Amino acid sequence: MNESPIIDQLTNCECCPRKCRVNRLDGQVGFCKVSAGMQISHIGLHFGEEPPVSGTRGSGTVFFAGCNLRCVFCQNYQISQEFRHTRTLTPDELACEMLRLQDEGAHNINFVSPSHMIFQMAESIRRAKHKGLSIPIVYNSNGYDSVDALRQIRGLVDIYLPDIKYLDNAIGQQFSAVRDYADSIPEVLREMLEQVGHLEMNAAGIAVRGILVRHLVLPGCLENSRRCLEVLADLSPDTFISIMSQYSPQHKACHYPLINRTLTQAEYDEITEYALDLGLENAFVQELESQEQCVPDFAQDRPFDFG
């Protein structure tokens, strides 16, 4: 992997705000528990993203294993924290998978949890584009990203699909083992918006460029949600947002009484109404029935087959 200068940055890794500074090329691992090799958990068409992303033909998703957060409620914990069902691909191999997804009709290539794999991802994108990849690239992250790393991949990403999880560092530390999420996320969102602008869709309503920000409403944490929405309104009232109601207590959430339940309709309505009060009218909302339907099983060949 040494032929690419951008990959060489893994010798003193600062891919994300944790700045572990380990030599991943030498097999060392930091908080994300991933060395230089691209560990992939699933590649395939996904129809469960927001309508402009999944469209009618599906989003070509690439799920990286590992993560730079430790969310106790993570619905993808099988791959983000337990590293089940993974395989390691080279940049050329991943480029071929991206071209396969394009041939299958994917509206885009959607990299899920790329923050700790940002430079390997970038190399794979370059190789795929050289071989004829032409559909948009989606950077689908938890929002705990390095602004410097994002600047280094400027021009490679068409659509940013970040979370805004916390504007309360105490909650972030308790539920995701991150001390400074609230400090870093505003600048991350500004950088993403500056790179790609507001969400743009074609005549069929499919996203082609821009930023769409997700916020998962946690039960009992409505003040955090209000503060997250305020940051988005300050960023721009025209920001497209996805207010997610799908929280259910997965993984280790049963050990945290505050979030060991699903969201109530009253809680969700309070947050969606607050978004409107702030002028955030470009919002996607969910039905509460999605709380159980949205939990994937990566032990299956089709982890999102909820039928």
DSSP state string for 232-278: HHHH-TT-EEEEE------TTGGG-GGGSSPPPHHHHHHHHHHHHHT
Residues with pLDDT less than 70, the chain = 1-7, 290-294, 306-307
- Six token digits for residue 76: 């993808």
User: What is the rounded CA–CA span in Å between residue 221 and residue 102?
Assistant: 40
Contact 294, 48 (CB under 8 A): yes
The pLDDT value given to residue 1:
38
34: left (phi over 0), alpha (psi -120 to 50) or beta: beta
Number of neighbours of residue 289 by Cβ within 10 angstroms = 10
Task: For residue range 234-243, list pLDDT tens digits in order.
Answer: 999 999 999 9
Q: Collect contacts of 17-26 with beta carbons under 8 A, ≥24 apart.
A: 17/68, 17/144, 17/145, 17/146, 17/180, 17/184, 18/68, 25/1
Task: For residue range 282-295, list pLDDT tens digits in order.
Answer: 999 998 876 556 68
Closest CA to 137 of 71, 226, 61, 202: 61
pTM: 0.94
